[in-house]
Chains A and B, each alone.
Chain A
């Protein structure tokens, strides 16, 4: 296991623990330093052997960024995947993901149609990096050099469509803006909500 993330969901406290490979992602709840529950998140099919690149947590949700720019959002109360899509507008690797909430939108611009109940909404801020890979150690991520190329601002789009007699959920990530860094190559990124 290489990473631990704390969930700010009150008491008892919860943690997500995982390694570089996607499986297993362990959900741990504890109280007074005693583990009270431990379970694994079920990785969606096709992502079982992908590398986990980054994670962001908000409310009671966790978005996992896998390699090849695949994203899966888990509802942590039910430990289920509620959104899954691959971001296709990046030309290189996405290496960081941040959730940008929609509810901070100023009231003067709130005429946008509200998402349906239960539907995921908001934006992701993602950083695209060009990876310079050492050919002899192509499998070792630590040997790669990351150069930031772009920031992507991406809207989460989720809808339900009726196909024959079934209701199917459509998950998409739609780019709404991008910002390119030519020769600057900043390498450390953080994202904050102003107080």
Chain B
């Protein structure tokens, strides 16, 4: 999971499949990073990429950087046959909760009152 570009990403999109949560409590989550396209338009070689996107003709415009699929886990999930029906993501702002170079998010999903902490 990575990119050839070293630019700081400011924006993330989270997409959650509304399929049933797995018995283990795992959720199927996609994350899309938005970045500013540089003049170096090298592609990426992520194995878990869904589909590459067209590059904007404007070399300094915002574009979708890459897509990854991750499986965050709901803590204390007891295997209920439930589908998530809402999602809210909040960035972690407490620096003590973050390791160096890591961006963390809290992912709140509507499966009971459960919280997923997703580290990116």
> Which A residues contact B (CB, under 8 angstroms)?
100, 104-106, 108-109, 111-112, 123, 125, 148, 151, 153, 155, 176-182, 184-195
A188 touches B87 (CB 8 A): yes
Chain A residue numbers with a CB within 8 Å of B38 are 108-109
Chain A residue numbers with a CB within 8 Å of B89 are 190, 192
A185–B17 Cα gap in the complex (Å)? 7
Q: Interface residue tally of chain B, by bracket?
A: 35 or more
A193 touches B10 (CB 8 A): yes
Residue of B nearest to A187 (CB): B18
Partner among A180, A186, A190, A191 whose Cβ is within 8 Å of the Cβ of B17? A186
> Which B residues contact A (CB, under 8 angstroms)?
7-18, 30, 32, 34, 36, 38, 50-51, 53-56, 58, 60-64, 67, 84-93, 103, 105, 109
29 contacts between A and B (CB under 8 A): A100-B11, A100-B62, A108-B38, A125-B11, A125-B34, A151-B64, A153-B34, A153-B63, A176-B61, A177-B54, A177-B55, A177-B61, A179-B53, A181-B15, A182-B50, A182-B51, A184-B17, A186-B15, A186-B30, A187-B17, A188-B86, A189-B13, A189-B16, A190-B13, A190-B89, A192-B91, A193-B10, A193-B11, A195-B92
Chain A residue numbers with a CB within 8 Å of B8 are 106, 194
Chain B residue numbers with a CB within 8 Å of A148 are 15
Chain A residue numbers with a CB within 8 Å of B11 are 100, 104, 125, 191-194
Chain A residue numbers with a CB within 8 Å of B51 are 179-182
Chain A residue numbers with a CB within 8 Å of B12 are 191-194
A179–B33 Cα gap in the complex (Å)? 11
Residue of A nearest to B104 (CB): A195
Q: A104-B11, A181-B51 are in contact. List 15 more A-B contacts (CB 8 A).
A: A105-B36, A108-B38, A109-B36, A123-B62, A125-B34, A153-B62, A179-B32, A180-B51, A182-B51, A184-B30, A186-B15, A187-B17, A189-B15, A192-B90, A193-B11
Question: What is the CB-to-nearest-CB distance from A23 to chain B, in angstroms, rounded to a whole number?
Answer: 27
- Given A123-B62, A195-B92, answer yes or no on A188-B50 (Cβ-Cβ < 8 Å): no
